[in-house]
Amino acid sequence: MKKFTNARIYRQHDELAEILVDKGVIKQIGKGLPKADTEIDLGGRLVVPPYVDPHLHLDYVYTGGGKAAKNTTGTLFEGIERWHEVKKTQTPEDARERALKGIAEEVSKGVQFIRTHIDVDDPKLIGLKVMLELREQLKDNVTIQIVAFPQEGMYAYKGGDEMIEEALKMGADCVGGIPHFEWAREFGEKSVHRTVELAAKYGKLVDVHCDETDDVMSRHVELLNALVMMQDIGVRSTASHTCSFGSANDSWAFRMLGLFKKSGMNFIANPTENAYLQGRQDTYPKRRGLTRVKEMWESGINVCFGQDSINDPWYPVGNGNMMNILDNGIHLAHTMSFDQLDRCLDLITSNGAKTLHLEDQYGIEAGKPANFLVLNAETPFEAVRQRADVLASIRNGEYLFKRPEPTYDIKLDLFRKTK
Ligand code: FE2
């Protein structure tokens, strides 16, 4: 038995609480709990569920620095062209080494749950095979979900739809798509139909790169939402990016928000990535690249934030720091009322877990795995204002890491005498 004392549990206890853990599972939360063999004093710090990165490309990480990968225009479409070149040089050893480094970088910043899109427009399926192995090998340290993702199209890439089906048979968890990249709207729509058909056929989750463009005519999210609603798999489905929904007219958006709520579909925004990629054809004003996070959040539609890229042809400076993603996201989305600041950590924790459909294994509650973070702050507001570091990440009751609180020796002397 282990007991964590003096914890301020996010959105549960204003007062200090104790967390009793037995065999890696939370047995009880409260005050005056029975003594344990090991007692760890958390010193009144904020305890939150682990960070969830619901959208990351682990096969692309650290490919952004090479010559073939340099994206000179900063656009999504040049990123895809650059990746096409890099992909030709990929080996299993290289893919494994980079993915491991990317996972370690995220875990070191408090992430314990990752959904990764893996490009299956590859006859050798190198990235997928590597990731299926890592998902199993690392499951005690980090939970990984894999999306079979056709980066170069389901139809724009010859045989892309067949590669997705093969990936699902091999064990991918989710069906992906990229309808705005297909060569005509008709093929984009066909790809959305195929995505939902495959999800229903194989009992998989859905996560589509949907309308990642400023083009207001890109409205595949409407079809995706309708199809998952008809199949009654809305809560098992996700629309990622939906940047064009941020530029859509208010009348259509109002209608859609009602339908999104009805379907229960989840939304993932990638604030830093899309702030970088979108608005590139705008002069001024330049768009922010973000979907309607504020309106979704306020109307009860599940929305969360993802990192998307760690140093790849689409975005050079991602580092797996979800607090940085949250910081950028709440600024870009105008979601910074005091009430929102008190609960915006949901956008990188529980809302992500809901998107990944992980409710049975996620959350600081009795009966669930003892997975949580200790932040270097005492309140949610201070955690966000200070962009608080993660002091410890605990998984199944054991430390994944812990680090000391930073100390500084700064002497401010306003009355320093000068000679
Ligand atoms: Fe992505």
What ranges do the domains of the chain cover? 2-49+363-402, 51-361
End-to-end CA distance of the chain: 62
Asked whether the beta carbons of 17 and 42 are under 8 A apart, the reply is no
24 Cα: distance to centroid of ligand 1 (angstroms)? 33
257 C-alpha to ligand 1 centroid (Å): 22
Is residue 410 pLDDT above 90, yes or no? Answer: no
> What's the whole-number mean pLDDT along residues 67-81?
84
What's this model's pTM, rounded to 2 decimal places? 0.96
- The yes-or-no verdict on residue 67 having pLDDT over 80 is no
Q: What phi, psi does 268 have (nearest 5°)? A: -120, 125
What does the pLDDT read at residue 146? 98
CA of 335 to the centre of ligand 1 (A): 23
Closest CA to 196 of 220, 171, 218: 220
Residue numbers annotated as active site: 212
User: How far away, in angstroms, is 398 Cα from ligand 1 center?
Assistant: 32
Q: Which two tokens stand for residue 324?
A: 């940085």
Rounded-to-integer distance, Cα 247 and Cα 290, Å? 9
Q: Which amino acid is residue 384, in one-letter code? A: V
Confidence at residue 415, expressed as pLDDT on a 0 to 100 scale: 67
- What's the 74 CA to ligand 1 centre distance in angstroms? 15
What was the pLDDT predicted at 418?
Answer: 58
Kindly give the distance from the C-alpha atom of residue 9 to the centroid of ligand 1, in angstroms, as a whole number.
32
CATH 3.20.20.140 fits 51-361, yes or no: yes
pLDDT at 412: 78
More confident residue, 159 or 89: 159
Distance 239 CA to ligand 1 centre (A): 11
Contacts of 346 (CB under 8 A, 6+ apart): 11, 304
| Candidate CATH numbers 2.30.40.10, 3.40.190.10, 3.40.50.2300, 3.30.1360.10; the one for domain 2-49+363-402 | 2.30.40.10
State the average pLDDT over residues 214-238. 97
Instruction: Give residue 306 CA to ligand 1 midpoint distance, Å.
Output: 9
Ligand 1 center to 240 CA (angstroms) = 7
pLDDT at 112 over 80: yes
Q: Which residues share a beta bridge with 4?
A: 19, 40
Which backbone phi and psi does 387 adopt, to 5 degrees? Answer: 50, 55
Query: Which pLDDT score is estimated for 419?
Result: 55
333-374 tens-digit pLDDT:
999 999 999 999 999 999 999 999 998 899 999 999 999 999
| 237 CA from centroid of ligand 1 (Å) | 15
- Residues whose CB falls within 8 Å of the CB of residue 272, separated by 6 or more in sequence, listed in order: 307, 308, 315, 317, 318, 324, 325, 328
Give the C-alpha separation, 281 to 269, whole Å.
20
Give the mean model confidence (pLDDT) for residues 275-294: 96
* Contact status, residue 279 vs residue 243, Cβ threshold 8 Å: no
* Per-residue model confidence as pLDDT tens digits over 6-44: 999 999 977 899 999 999 999 999 999 999 999 999 999
